[in-house]
Structure 1
Amino acid sequence: MSQKTFYRRRALAARLTKLITQEAVGSAVASGVFLTAPRRTGKSTFAREDLRPALEEAGALVLYADLWKDLTKEPGAVIVETVREAIGRDEKLISRLAIAPGLEAVSVGRVNFNVNKIGLGKEIGLTKAFEALSDETKKLIVLIIDETQHAITTDEGVAALFALKAARDELNSSKHYGLRIVCIGSNQSKLATLRNSSDEAFFGASMVQLPMLDKDFIDWYCKGLDLPHDLDPSDVFQLFQESGCRPDLLSAAADDIRFDFTVGPKAIVVRLAELVRAHAEALNANLRTVIHSLTPIQSAVIRVMGSKGEGFAPFESSTMELYAKAIANAGIATSEPKVEEPDVQLALMALQEKKLVWKTSRGVYAIEERLTVDVLRKDGLLDDLV
């Protein structure tokens, strides 16, 4: 695609590059760097088009694993394949690893695993692979993992993260050239599960909230729209903020205008606002359809999850009472019904299948997207559930 297709955030990329690659006393970046921003607000584009080139210009070898690209693939396998591809591009490395000895089973944090099963084959673990890559290239390696939270939904994904921790610790020793792991995600609470406890793979890693696209982006965007009538960037920026700072909503509305030959130049400004709001409402409408199609127990579970937030514990007695209260408040029962644990378990499984709920391999549940909580609250479905 043309360079003009992307809005460049070079200053932000340069600042993050300096922070990621630095070795300042007291810096926690060697433990990992977590970058978070809401979904569909441009964080992946920034990582690919700005951060990766900036890191490469700074002399780093950058590997990029997108766990969102193909959800049918095991997250741990995607990470391993990314390293395998980097190794496969260098014949010297392949020859070198072909004679590498196998590694033993190890214990890191709360997980016991055999690194040979997490690596590039029967006898090559991730640590050995990264060692060879580091020593051959003599460069700092930066592994960017997009939508990292998917890795902790499976046992293999968790094992891969702990294998990465082992590789990170080895490469950041004085023997090699360093390894930085940059984890990107759309949900800060999910990412935090990887760093908030001493028995997690990235305990103590830095958490960074990526700035949202700003007025400069809208100025650039309006100049490149090529519509029959110029738009006032101030008006468009207000609309952009109103719609959650999501560029795809602006683009969808602009395309609707381009292919509507009945819209006159003077009506474009008003029509753009109508279309952006319509597309935003359509997203909410689809979600509302799913929510209002839930069974009573499924509805009760997700409503209680929305009201409890990070404090949600699915099978505590107080939570079980709230499920019953939610069903009664919905007018489905004349009195608070008794809710059993198997009912809740089945409801949680169904909500996972509907992509409303997310679960880690340790059995921690959370609502998949913040938008779901916003819709529940706006529709009054969280009232009286405290």
Structure 2
Amino acid sequence: MSQKFFYHRRTLAARLTKLITQVAVGSAAASGVFLTAPRRTGKSTFAREDLRPALEEAGAIVLYADLWKDPTTEPGAVIVETVREAIGRDEKLMSRLAIAPGLEAVSVGRLKFNVNKIGIGKEIGLTKAFEALSDEVKKLIVLIIDETQQAITTDEGVAALFALKAARDELNSSKHYGLRIVCIGSNQNKLAMLRNSSDEAFFGAPMVQLPLLDKDFVDWYCKWLDLPNNLDPSDVFQLFQESGYRPEIISAAADGIRLDPTDDPKAILVRFAELVRAQVAALNANLKMVIHSLTPIQSAVIRVMGAKGESFAPYESSTMELYAKATESTGVAPSEPIIEVEDVQLALMALLEKKLVWKTSRGVYTIEEQIVVDMLRDDGLLESLA
């Protein structure tokens, strides 16, 4: 695709590249770097189109694993497959691994190596695989993991993160050429679970809030928009802010104009604004519909979860009392049976299926997106539940 169809943030990419590759005294970047921004605001495009090229220009070998590319695939398997693909592209490296002690892979006339031997609990673990890759390329390796928080939703994903920690510690020793792990996510609270505790794989790694796309992006966007009449970037920027800084929403509005063109410049702006606001309203309306369709106990659980935030503990006695309080406020008679732990478990399962709630492999629950908490608060449903 032509470069004009991507808005590049090269200054930001250069600054992050320096943070990732040039570890200074007092920096924790060697432990990993965490980048976060709200969903659908361009962080993955930035990672692929700006950060990755900048890291490569700085001399690093860059691997990229998107844990949301296929939601049906185990997150740990995605990480392992990314390493396998990197090694599979290098015949010399595969030959080296094929003759590694304890591995037999000889065929007529040549050596063969099956990359499936690489993995957690396999003949070649991730540390050995990264060691071989590092020693072969003799360059810093950077692994970018998009939507990293998904890794802690499964035991295999957690195991992969700890395997990466071991590989990182080994490759950052003086024997090799270095390994940096860049973790990207759309929910800062979820990402923080990977770095806030001393028993997590990336304890102490720095968290960087990516800046949202700004007026410069909108100026560039309007320049290449190719509508019958030009839109004023100042007007579009205001609408872009209303859309939550999500490029997809204003792009869909532009498509709506193309399907229903008009020669009146003022009419184009009015119609564009209507389309943007209609999409935002539709997104919120769909989410509200899901929230208002919850059963009383499901509603009580998500409301208490939203009110308690990071301190939410689903089965503590004080939390159980709050469920009862929240249920009564929905109009359910106090004479209803007392809420039991099994009721909460079933409610949490239902909320997970509706994608309103997210759960780690350790049983920690949090609300999927901040917008859900904001809606509950705006409707007065979190009052007196903290």
Q: TM-score, normalised by structure 1?
A: 0.94
- Checking the alignment, whether the CA contact within 8 Å between 1:101 and 1:124 is kept in structure 2 is no
- Alignment-derived partner of residue 155 in structure 1: 155
The one-letter code sitting in structure 2 at the alignment partner of 1:236 is V
Confirm or deny: 8 A CA contact 2:32 2:206 kept in the other structure. Answer: yes
The aligned counterpart of 2:138 is 138
Q: Do structure 1's residue 194 and structure 2's residue 189 form an aligned pair?
A: no
Query: Secondary structure of the residue that 1:184 maps to in structure 2?
Result: strand
Structure 1 stretch displaced more, 347-356 or 166-175: 347-356
Residues 23-65 of structure 1: per-residue CA shift (max 9 Å, x gap): 3111111000000000000000000000000000000000000
Deviates more, 1:80-89 or 1:371-380: 371-380
**Equivalent residue, structure 1, for 2:182:** 182
Is the Cα contact below 8 Å between 2:228 and 2:263 reproduced in 1? no
TM-superposition CA deviations, 1:285-313 (whole Å, max 9, x none): 11111111111111111111111111111
Secondary structure in 2 aligned to 1:382? coil
1:329 and 2:332 are equivalent in the alignment: no
Give the Cα separation in 2 of the matches to 1:262 and 1:224: 18
Q: Name the structure 2 match of 1:348.
A: 348
User: Is residue 130–residue 171 contact of structure 1 (8 Å, CA) maintained in 2?
Assistant: yes
Contact (CA 8 Å) 2:249, 2:279: kept in 1 or not? yes
Deviates more, 1:335-344 or 1:180-189: 335-344
Cα 1:301–1:63 change in 2 (3 A) is same
Residue in structure 1 matched with residue 256 of structure 2 by the alignment: 256
Shift in Å, 1:79: 0.2
Map of 1:71 onto structure 2: 71
Q: In structure 2, how many angstroms separate the alpha carbons of the residues matched to 1:226 and 1:43?
A: 25
Q: How far apart, in 2, do the equivalents of 1:257 and 1:383 lie?
A: 42
Residues 354 and 162 of structure 1, relative CA distance in 2, 3 Å threshold:
same
2:336 and 2:286 mapped to 1: Cα distance? 30
Number of corresponding residues: 374
Question: How far apart, CA to CA, are the structure 1 residues paired with 2:382 and 2:263?
Answer: 41
Alignment check: 8 A CA contact 1:304 1:323 kept: yes
How does 1:1-386 map onto structure 2 within 5 Å? 1-101=1-101, 119=119, 122-261=122-261, 264-334=264-334, 338-386=338-386
Aligned counterparts of 2:290 and 2:385: Cα–Cα separation in 1: 21
Call closer, same or farther: CA 1:264–1:332 in 2, change over 3 Å: farther
How far, CA to CA, are the matches of 2:118 and 2:345 in structure 1?
A: 31
Q: Which structure 1 segments of 5+ residues have no match?
A: 104-115
Q: Is the 8 A contact 1:102 1:124 kept in 2?
A: no
Verify the 8 A CA contact 1:328 1:336 in the aligned structure 2. no
Return the letter of the residue paired with 1:376: L
Name whichever of 160-169 and 288-297 sits farther off.
288-297
Change (3 A) 1:159 1:121: closer
Cα deviation for residue 334 of structure 1 reads 4.2
User: Does structure 2 conserve the Cα–Cα contact (< 8 Å) formed by 1:147 and 1:185?
Assistant: yes
| Secondary structure at 2:195 match in 1 | coil
Asked if 2 retains the 8 angstrom alpha-carbon contact of 1:325 and 1:336, the reply is: no
User: After superposition, what is the alpha-carbon deviation per residue over 1:192-233, rounded to whole angstroms, capped at 9, x for unaligned?
Assistant: 111111111001101000011011001101111111222221
Q: Distance in 1 between matches of 2:384 and 2:52?
A: 47
Indicate if the aligned counterparts of 2:161 and 2:201 stay in contact, CA closer than 8 A.
yes
AA of the residue aligned to 2:247: P
Taking a change above 3 Å as real, the CA distance of residues 87 and 296 of structure 1, as seen in their structure-2 partners, is: same
CA pair 263-323 structure 1, distance change in 2 beyond 3 A? farther
Q: Hey, what's the Cα distance between the residues in 1 that align with 2:332 and 2:142? A: 54
Q: Which moved more, 1:310-319 or 1:172-181?
A: 310-319
Q: Distance in 1 between matches of 2:102 and 2:237?
A: 57
Helix, strand or coil for the counterpart of 1:71?
coil
Contact preservation (8 Å) 2:120, 2:163: no
Provide closer, same or farther for how the CA distance between residues 14 and 288 of structure 1 changes in structure 2, counting only shifts above 3 A.
same
Amino acid at match of 1:210: L
1:323/1:339 contact within 8 Å kept: yes
Q: Say which is worse superposed, 364-373 or 265-274, in terms of deviation.
A: 265-274
Distance in 1 between residues matched to 2:199 and 2:121, nearest whole Å: 27
Change (3 A) 1:262 1:226: closer
Unaligned residue ranges in structure 2 (runs of 5+): 104-115
3-state DSSP class of the match of 2:164? helix
CA displacement at 1:19 relative to structure 2: 0.8
C-alpha spacing 1:100/1:254, structure 2 compared with 1 (3 Å)? same
Instruction: For 1:247 and 1:171, locate their aligned partners in 2 and report how far apart those are by CA, in whole Å.
Output: 38
Structure-1 separation of matches of 2:151 and 2:229: 46
Task: Give the Cα–Cα distance (whole angstroms) in 1 for the partners of residues 267 and 220 of structure 2.
Answer: 22
